Structure 1
Amino acid sequence: MISIQGSLFSTVPILSRDNYKKWREDLDVALFVIELDLAFREPNPIITATSTTEENQKLEKWETANRKCIILMKRSIPENMKDSVGEMDTATEYLTVIKEVFEVFQSAEKAELMNQILLAKFDGNGSVREHFLEISSMVKKLKDLETNLDDDFLVSLTLKSLPE
């Protein structure tokens, strides 16, 4: 059972600028298969002085699943994101914050790429073709981040980046 769990953990990729959707799907599958998704499916059970043994066991199972989910998520996000996420009590809170931080990182990357495209100027080093390919590469990265630019606008910007 340990080797199956270990191999499932390894199927969850490290979260990067362009794989949040796949990361989340792989995380959900891994947690479901090893029955840790309890922390996402059910709220934290409330225990009182009159709680039964069964209710106490349910809480213990939920807390174990919650801790393991958090550890798996921590293992699959980059170090710079871990600093931004901080510590959370529940896996659902942790996942919500990861998504928010990812969206902020993604917005910053979109802004940086847009800025690079707008400020691109052909400086005479290399060929015009290479210059066009660099701009094209930035546009592709924006498309990967689900930001599309109008083709006519791109042609105009690209031509404007050339010297008179």
Structure 2
Amino acid sequence: MAPIGKLNGPTVNFRNYKARVVAEFLGLDIEITPKFELGVDNKTPEYLAKYPSGKTPTFESADGFSLTDSSAIAYYVASKSGSDSSLLGQTPEETAEILQFILFAESDFMPAALGVFAPILGFTPLIKPALQQAEQQLARFLGVLNDLVVDRTFLVGERLTIADV
């Protein structure tokens, strides 16, 4: 099977994993850029001409459609599965709930998690009050997720969706 497109960005990166996990789950092939160097390749004139924000990951479909943002890319990849759209929800309500969890992950959970782990791993300076605040937020968000999955297997319904990725 020919790749459905090319995913640009560092191979080892949690944001790139979303689209790759979705593609693998659905049996879709995505070309990756194993030698992509963050801060170098995404700053070239060619890259910036196509993706002016310089963000990664980015995606270009086999027919030339371009996209940025890991969640948007994962959603697009899931939509390429043809009739198997179960990862995207089967009703408008499920789809909205999936989107709710994607936005929760992007706007609440990940900033708190990065606020905890980035200074611990040495990616950012450790500022104790900021770390303590991030730890409190992360604990609260983990509690919310824990309470949700007490009586269900997945975040939305009883099957895997991109909300779980």
Query: Given the two structures, how large is their TM-score scaled by the length of structure 2?
Result: 0.27
More helix by share: 1
Query: Given the two structures, how large is their TM-score scaled by the length of structure 1?
Result: 0.27
Structure having the higher Rg: 1
More strand by share: 2
